[in-house]
């Protein structure tokens, strides 16, 4: 629901600075300064980073199911503050609370879906979460059309900020139907409940997969108990490489430049004579929704994760460079090429780091450590979004890099592709112990390599 404030009449910078604001402009807290607007815009990202870390304790102590249920209450609280805020600073507090709920949801849901999904369908289930997020943004963009051009009351648009109340109520209403993660139950020595949960989740005989999961969780429990803390174990020689890769993947989910690309959306569509700029958000979010769905439904179980990540990252790199050149040399032809570059950036983003950033980063880390690792990866993602939100428009101003600013993302993506080539392993259809065997050499790893019968591709083997 972050895109609620992207409606241009809420904050048309050039018009909000005028002594007499034209009717229908600067609707949200008229007279706000640019700094105040930046604070409320970035409050969600700050809250998301905080929420990621706050999710570690309840996800481990109370379980994935109850943590998600508690989070529904936070969603409702944040939406109420936003909807009834009488000034922009209180509104920013509400955005921050909603951001906390987003940070918790991203970390806990990604790990929950990883733990309950069959390994061959893991990418489908995890990316469907992102499809729903994109669909929510699409709905919000569509609701902009319900706002009159000349609203006579703030309640013509304030209910838009109460949207998370609906989501929070749905979460609370459906939590009783959510099956707790068998992995979490085994971590807490609740074996009978874990077996019952697996029987509810999967069709057919679950004895073999349950025995494999039980042994995996036994090894993980022993590792955690032998360490001073989960974070200490993550930065130890056993897991520090996987942990670092997970943080990079999570950070690149936003640092790849999609938030900055969205900033250009209205300008791109205005240049090709699109009359209603609200349609630009519709097109962008519709494109995200469908490309993410294609990634989930058709790419996830057909292609290897590493190959998708590398090849589509390189396409993004070229598209970002082409986009920059179109900004530097504007004319009627390049305006249309700009739109093509936008499509060539967003599609490959969904097929690479946009979808795989969360998938691979969770698959690299054993279930017992995943919420802690995921919190750092999610923190990296929200931090990147915060930095882009605060600094990119300054970098793109004529007094700094101007029309050449977006080239920085082409360089960042290229460096990331090199990093992925050398360090990111193949994780398709693997268990956490099979991935662990790539980095940890001990008795269990040797047994895992000898008996799984699964080919595990290490970096550089599949290119």
Quick one: pLDDT at residue 460? 46
Quick one: pLDDT at residue 362? 95
CA distance 223 to 301: 31
Q: How many domains does the chain have?
A: 1
Structure tokens at 63: 């379980």
Quick one: pLDDT at residue 463? 44
Quick one: pLDDT at residue 2? 61
Is 460 within a domain?
Answer: no
| Domain extent at residue 220 | 2-451
Is 74 within a domain?
Answer: yes
Polymer length in residues for the chain: 463
Query: Token match 């999610």: residue?
Result: 378
Q: Which own/partner pairs from 410-416 qualify as long-range (CB within 8 Å, at least 24 positions apart)? A: 410/317, 410/318, 410/320, 410/321, 410/324, 412/252, 412/255, 412/256, 412/257, 413/256, 413/257, 413/313, 413/316, 413/317, 413/320, 414/314, 414/317, 416/248, 416/252, 416/256, 416/313, 416/353
| Helices and strands of the chain, counted as H and E runs | 21, 0
Quick one: pLDDT at residue 453? 43
Helix (H) / strand (E) element for 375: namely helix 370-395
CA distance 389 to 259: 8
DSSP state of 178: P
Quick one: pLDDT at residue 267? 72
Reference 297, options 123, 135, 430, 119; nearest CA is 123
Is 206 within a domain?
Answer: yes
CA distance 4 to 80: 14
State the CATH number of the domain containing residue 156: 1.20.1250.20
Q: Averaged in consecutive runs of 10 residues, what is the pLDDT profile of the chain (463 residues)?
A: 72 78 85 86 93 95 95 96 94 96 96 92 91 88 86 88 93 93 95 94 88 92 92 94 96 90 74 72 84 84 89 95 92 89 91 92 94 96 90 84 91 96 93 89 61 44 45
Quick one: pLDDT at residue 16? 79
Helix (H) / strand (E) element for 34: namely helix 34-54
Longest dimension (CA), the chain: 75
pTM of the model: 0.90
Is 463 within a domain?
Answer: no
Per DSSP, helices labelled H in 159-276 are 163-174, 182-187, 191-201, 207-226, 230-234, 240-255, 258-271
CA distance 3 to 138: 9
Quick one: pLDDT at residue 456? 38
Is 378 within a domain?
Answer: yes
Is 457 within a domain?
Answer: no
Beta strand segments in 278-436, E: none
3-state secondary structure of 347: helix
For the chain, what is the radius of gyration of the CA atoms?
Answer: 23
DSSP state of 22: P
Is 306 within a domain?
Answer: yes
Is 220 within a domain?
Answer: yes
Quick one: pLDDT at residue 391? 87
CA distance 224 to 66: 22
């Amino acid at each position: 629901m972050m895109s609620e404030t992207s409606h241009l009449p809420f904050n048309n910078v050039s018009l909000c600075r005028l002594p007499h604001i034209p009717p229908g402009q600067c609707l949200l807290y008229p007279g706000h300064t640019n700094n105040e607007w930046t604070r409320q815009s970035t409050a969600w990202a700050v809250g998301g980073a905080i929420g990621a870390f706050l999710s570690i304790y309840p996800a481990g102590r109370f379980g994935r199911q109850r943590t998600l249920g508690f989070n529904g209450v936070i969603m409702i609280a944040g939406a109420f503050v936003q909807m009834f805020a009488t000034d922009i600073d209180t509104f920013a507090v509400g955005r921050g609370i909603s951001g906390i709920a987003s940070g918790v949801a991203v970390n806990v849901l990604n790990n929950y879906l990883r733990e309950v999904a069959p390994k061959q369908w893991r990418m489908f289930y995890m990316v469907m979460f992102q499809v729903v997020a994109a669909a929510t943004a699409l709905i919000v963009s569509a609701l902009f059309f319900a706002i009159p051009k000349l609203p006579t009351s703030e309640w013509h648009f304030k209910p838009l900020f109460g949207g998370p109340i609906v989501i929070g109520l749905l979460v609370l209403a459906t939590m009783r139907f959510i099956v707790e993660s068998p992995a979490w139950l085994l971590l807490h020595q609740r074996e009978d409940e874990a077996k019952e949960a697996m029987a509810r989740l999967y069709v057919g005989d679950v004895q073999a997969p349950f025995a494999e999961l039980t042994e995996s969780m036994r090894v993980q429990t022993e590792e955690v108990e032998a360490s001073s803390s989960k974070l200490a174990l993550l930065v130890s020689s056993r897991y520090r490489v996987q942990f670092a890769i997970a943080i990079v993947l999570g950070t690149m989910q936003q640092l790849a430049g999609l938030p900055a690309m969205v900033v250009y959306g209205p300008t791109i569509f205005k240049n090709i004579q699109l009359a209603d700029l609200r349609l630009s958000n519709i097109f962008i979010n519709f494109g995200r929704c469908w490309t993410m769905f294609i990634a989930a439904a058709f790419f996830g179980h057909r292609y290897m994760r590493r190959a998708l990540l590398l090849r589509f990252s390189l396409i993004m790199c070229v598209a970002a460079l082409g986009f920059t050149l179109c900004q530097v040399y504007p004319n009627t032809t390049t305006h249309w090429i700009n739109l093509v570059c936008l499509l060539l950036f967003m599609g490959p983003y969904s097929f690479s780091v946009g979808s795989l950033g969360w998938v691979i980063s969770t698959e690299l880390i054993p279930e017992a450590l995943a919420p802690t690792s995921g919190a750092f990866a999610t923190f990296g993602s929200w931090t990147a979004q915060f930095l882009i939100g605060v600094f990119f428009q300054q970098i793109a101003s004529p007094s700094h890099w101007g029309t050449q600013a977006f080239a920085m993302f082409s360089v960042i993506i290229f460096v990331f592709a090199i990093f992925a080539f050398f360090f990111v392993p193949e994780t398709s259809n693997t268990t956490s112990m099979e991935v662990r065997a790539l980095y940890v050499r001990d008795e269990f790893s040797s047994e895992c390599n000898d008996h799984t019968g699964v080919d595990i591709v290490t970096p550089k083997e599949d290119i």
